[in-house]
């Protein structure tokens, strides 16, 4: 328990993914929750003779000062002691006044704990958030969403579909928690009017050669860390988001069998994944680590650090922006390079592993599945927990050899 003061509340901070909570000695039930995204006042107490504890959100700091938070907590405590159902009152008031911005903040705090790809949700919610941040969430109609999604679909139909899916999930979350009465997007057809096709883009050998040398072009406008990250996706067949978030502590490079262990918190299926590293992958990663510009101060826990903040890795969308720049270069177009995405590099690497080259056969489909960290949904997969590490190492080394043959 802490005696909260104006100075303490003003200066207390929390690092990324850290969640601090302080109980106020000076006011019964008042709490201060601190995260990297801000500070929120809360109330937690139990009335006389009541079995359940009541938790309320009072407001955000600095919009609500310490004095105002104490006054509000004291008032709620008095109501609780008087036998009032303050939780029902709060739910009704929240439903009437919760803004779309507040709803997005609550939803993202929830999925950050439960969903490995929560940053994708955050990205798709940015445009709706810019439009409706201060609007009461319950006032938004299906027509409002249809207008926004149709505007997005005019230039990016796939993005419109993904945005609609995230919005529908968020509204369902809000209905389950009694924050709004109705999910107006439940059962709605895609407003883009287009069905997404299964992705099957694989770079051919000629395109791969153009890309490989483009990633070494000293005149490239793309930062070196992003170029090396794209190359690492191809060499490891890892997901772009996993490579973007690669940390130094996850690597074992100077061993006879170098590898990268991705912790379960960063993996889509929530299972730790060991990725063997070929000599070419180790060389690529070590070049990134040796970059004196890694992070704004030259040091970072991330291999591919953001140039804006050493405490963060490169953003997932920065990889997509880089591939678009590479594909729009006139010289690259003339040489036959067609548009692709970072995820297409993962598919290309997996395809090269499977491909027969001359008399050398490709690796097995089961090996590629293990390298991609795809879940075996069969009953056998539940019992067979062999990690296929040796087979995966053979696959990445064969992949590196084939890439060197193509780009030489």
Q: Tell me the pLDDT band of 313, cut-offs 50, 70 and 90.
A: confident
Q: Tell me the pLDDT band of 344, cut-offs 50, 70 and 90.
A: very high
Percentage of the chain beyond pLDDT 90 is 42
pLDDT of residue 195: 67
Q: Is the pLDDT of residue 285 over 90?
A: yes
Q: Tell me the pLDDT band of 75, cut-offs 50, 70 and 90.
A: confident
- The domain locations on the chain are 6-90, 100-176, 205-407
Q: Is the pLDDT of residue 384 over 50?
A: no
Q: Which of 301, 401, 315 is closest to 357 using CA atoms?
A: 401
Q: Tell me the pLDDT band of 380, cut-offs 50, 70 and 90.
A: low
Q: Enter the CATH code of domain 205-407.
A: 1.10.443.10
Q: Tell me the pLDDT band of 102, cut-offs 50, 70 and 90.
A: confident
The mean per-residue pLDDT over the stretch 65-94 comes to 76
Q: Is the pLDDT of residue 265 over 80?
A: yes
CB environment 173-210: b (16+ within 10 A), e (fewer): bbeeeebbeebbbeeeeebbeeeeeeeeebbeeebbbb
CB atoms within 10 A of CB 33: 17
Which residue blocks in 195-337 are alpha helix, DSSP H? 205-214, 224-236, 240-244, 279-290, 316-328, 330-334
pLDDT of residue 349: 95
CATH class for domain 6-90?
A: alpha beta
Report helix, strand or coil for 61: strand
Distance CA 87, CA 85 (A): 5
Q: 32 forms bridges with which residues in the sheet?
A: 22, 41
pLDDT of residue 368: 92
Q: What is the pLDDT of residues 125-165, one digit of tens each?
A: 999 999 998 888 888 999 999 999 999 988 888 889 999 99
Evaluate whether 297 touches 308 at the Cβ level (below 8 Å). no
**Does an H or E element contain 43, and which?**
strand 38-45
pLDDT of residue 305: 82
The pTM of the full predicted model, rounded to 2 decimals, is 0.64
Q: Is the pLDDT of residue 236 over 50?
A: yes
Q: Tell me the pLDDT band of 293, cut-offs 50, 70 and 90.
A: low
The mean per-residue pLDDT over the stretch 287-310 comes to 73
Query: Strand 54-61's sheet: what is its strand order?
Result: 20-23, 30-35, 38-45, 54-61
């Amino acid at each position: 328990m802490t005696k909260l003061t104006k100075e303490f509340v003003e200066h207390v901070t929390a690092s990324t993914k850290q969640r601090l909570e302080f109980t106020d000695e000076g006011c019964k039930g008042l709490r201060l929750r601190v995260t990297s995204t801000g500070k929120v006042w809360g109330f937690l107490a139990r009335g006389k003779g009541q079995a359940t504890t009541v938790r309320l959100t009072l407001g955000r700091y600095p919009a609500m000062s310490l004095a105002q938070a104490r006054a509000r907590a004291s008032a709620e405590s008095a109501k609780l002691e008087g036998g009032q159902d303050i939780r029902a009152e709060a739910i009704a008031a929240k439903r009437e006044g919760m803004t779309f911005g507040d709803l997005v903040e609550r939803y993202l705090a929830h999925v950050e704990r439960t969903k490995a790809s929560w940053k994708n949700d955050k990205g798709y919610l940015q445009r709706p958030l810019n439009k409706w941040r201060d609007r009461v969430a319950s006032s938004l109609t299906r027509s409002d969403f249809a207008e926004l999604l149709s505007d997005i679909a005019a230039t990016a139909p796939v993005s419109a579909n993904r945005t609609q899916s995230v919005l529908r999930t968020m509204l369902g979350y809000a209905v389950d928690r009694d924050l709004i009465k109705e999910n107006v997007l439940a059962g709605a057809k895609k407003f883009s009017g287009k069905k997404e096709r299964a992705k099957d883009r694989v770079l051919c050998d000629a395109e791969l050669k153009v890309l490989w040398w483009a990633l070494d072009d000293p005149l490239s406008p793309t930062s070196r860390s992003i170029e090396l990250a794209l190359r690492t996706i191809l060499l490891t067949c890892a997901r772009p988001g996993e490579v973007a978030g690669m940390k130094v502590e996850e690597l074992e490079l100077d061993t006879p069998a170098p590898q990268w262990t991705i912790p379960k918190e960063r993996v889509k299926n929530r299972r730790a994944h060991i990725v063997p590293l070929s000599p070419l992958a180790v060389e690529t990663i070590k070049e990134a680590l040796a970059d004196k510009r890694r992070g704004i101060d030259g040091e970072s826990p991330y291999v591919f650090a953001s140039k804006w903040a050493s405490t963060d890795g490169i953003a997932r969308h920065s990889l997509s922006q880089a591939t678009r720049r590479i594909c729009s270069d006139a010289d690259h177009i003339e040489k036959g390079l067609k548009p692709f995405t970072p995820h297409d590099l993962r598919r290309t690497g997996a395809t090269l592993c499977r491909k027969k080259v001359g008399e050398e056969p490709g690796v097995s489909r089961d090996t590629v599945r293990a390298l991609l960290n795809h879940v075996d949904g069969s009953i056998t997969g539940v019992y067979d927990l062999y990690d296929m590490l040796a087979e995966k190492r053979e696959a990445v080394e064969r992949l590196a050899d084939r890439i060197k043959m193509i780009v030489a």
